[in-house]
A and B are shown apart, each in its own frame.
Chain A
Amino acid sequence: MNKRGVRIDTQDFTDEQIVHRVLRDKEQFAILIERYADKLARYLERLGVFVREDREDILQNSFLNAYRNLNSFDPTLSFSSWMYRIVHNEAMSFFRRKKARPEVKLNIEDEILFSFIEDEDADTSAHTERRLSSEELSRAMDKIPDRYREILTLYFFEERSYTEISDILEMPIGTVSTRIHRAKCALRKQLVDRLP
């Protein structure tokens, strides 16, 4: 039971089922919020929203937006992608309002970092002699265009599939694939330029 007297077993329902139930009982929206708040907060941080209060504001607005537009949710998509889309758009509006370009501050293991730029088709021999630090990759990510950075964030950090990225960024899957390839090339070029 939650404070409002609703007993919910989160394991029992899919997101889509909960959406359906929220339309009858708004209290159940809490389940969705609790399921996604942390993931989405991490995503916002990766997008460059570093101030906690800003993240909370964006998340609150996003969930309120999601609630208002719950009837526009297409059950053939995943709720997760739909929610990421709302948060992504809210974050972009936030950056526009602040007239700021999102910055990247990564904090992950070097081994994982290196895998980002590895490409079976590319000659990465130049990179293998040296591991990359979070700072180096962050700086390189900062130098690539926003459209590349956001797609790399979704693909590598959020581990979203092409279909999910297509739904989040509202672009055809073919474009997602092309853009990821170009983004990797752009990032690799930045890293190569930085390597001694």
Chain B
Amino acid sequence: MIDNSSSTKKNSESHLLAERVLTKISREHMTPRPRWRYVFRNRALWIAAVLALGIAALSSAAILFILANAGWRYAPATHGNTFALLLAVLPSVWLVALILFIVAGYWNIRHTARGYRYPLPLVVAMVVLFSVLSGAVLFTAGFGQEVEEGIGAYVPFYHPFLGQERSWWLDTSHGLLMGRIVTLSPDFSSFTLQTSSGVLWHINTSDLRSADITILARGGTVRVVGVPRAATSTTPFHACFVFPWEIRGSFFTPPIPLVALPPPSEIISRGERSKLCKGVRPYKPLRALEQGE
């Protein structure tokens, strides 16, 4: 008998229960599961949580990369309005991944040995903040494109965003063109552009102004908005505006300038563009953009 046992019925019942339990333990050779299993499980949950939040951070970096490079300023030219562009660029795959992995991270943390003790709003806020801020850091550090294109390559039916954006800007029937500047005539009257598929375009710059020429002289890749024409036409593409093609959140190497830039006054006089340009594009929004350059 245990020292302080009494003769009450209750005690006798608990004593019988103890006997039954101990007999079963002996008969079935039961032993406590080793501690390492619980330690391992707990650590595995923490590692899984960190991995899930890491992937959430990568998704966040990809979302930021897409949103930062969507070309919101050019929405009137590419999609007619900002809302249409938003629908076109909405990074649904990455948003779903972000939400899924945030939930996975949260679930893993909650199922650690003491996870239930953390206040719900605190865990949710920390998990979301960690994912978004880490994503922002990755994006700022220049990993945005690596993530979006590198991981995106493993996602079925996923098309990297820059490829999509390029396709919007390779539509001369809507007056849109993008590519790398190959040559620029000494008098800035024309230049040659090579698209990502290797096609060369001769471009008439008679309607461009000093701001545009400055961008051309820097070299590299540019966006050109001009007079719509058929892709099969043999006449040079008539440019109305030139904008830089900058990629935010990427390991970007600045191009070597094509020419030393003369004073703006020597390039071209400011003034209204020809009727060719005014009639066919969302002229005013683009003009406003140019003034802000």
- B155 shortest CB reach to chain A, Å: 36
Tell me which residues across on chain B come within 8 A of A128, comparing CB atoms. Answer: none
A148 to B117, CA, bound (A): 19
Answer whether residue B83 sits at the interface, using C-beta atoms and an 8 A cutoff.
Answer: no
Give the most central of B2, B15, B24, B37: most A CB within 10 Å: B2
A34 touching B30 by the CB < 8 A rule?
Answer: no
Among B20, B21, B117, point to the contact of A67 (Cβ < 8 A). B21
| 8 residue pairs from A and B, CB less than 8 Å apart | A10-B4, A30-B18, A38-B13, A64-B24, A67-B21, A71-B38, A172-B117, A175-B119
| Bound-complex Cα distance A171 to B111 (A) | 11
A37 neighbours in B (Cβ, 8 Å) = 13-14, 17-18
With contacts A71-B34, A72-B38 taken as known, whether A26 is within 8 angstroms of B22 at the C-beta atoms is yes
Taking CB atoms, residues of chain A closer than 8 Å to B15 are 30, 34
Residues of B within 8 A of A31 (CB): 2
> In the complex, what residues of A have CB within 8 A of residue B20's CB?
60
Given pairs A23-B32, A72-B113, 12 additional interface contacts (CB within 8 A)? A10-B3, A30-B22, A37-B17, A38-B13, A41-B13, A67-B32, A68-B32, A71-B34, A71-B37, A72-B33, A72-B35, A74-B114
* A interface secondary structure, majority: helix
Contact, CB under 8 Å: B116 / A38? no
Asked if residues A38 and B14 are in contact (CB atoms below 8 Å), the reply is yes
Q: Is the CB of A29 within 8 A of B25?
A: yes
Listed from nearest, the 7 A-B pairs whose CB atoms lie closest are A37-B14, A170-B116, A30-B18, A33-B18, A71-B35, A70-B32, A72-B38
- Which residue from B22, B38, B120 sits with its C-beta under 8 Å from A27? B22
Q: Which residues of B contact A22 (CB under 8 A)?
A: 32
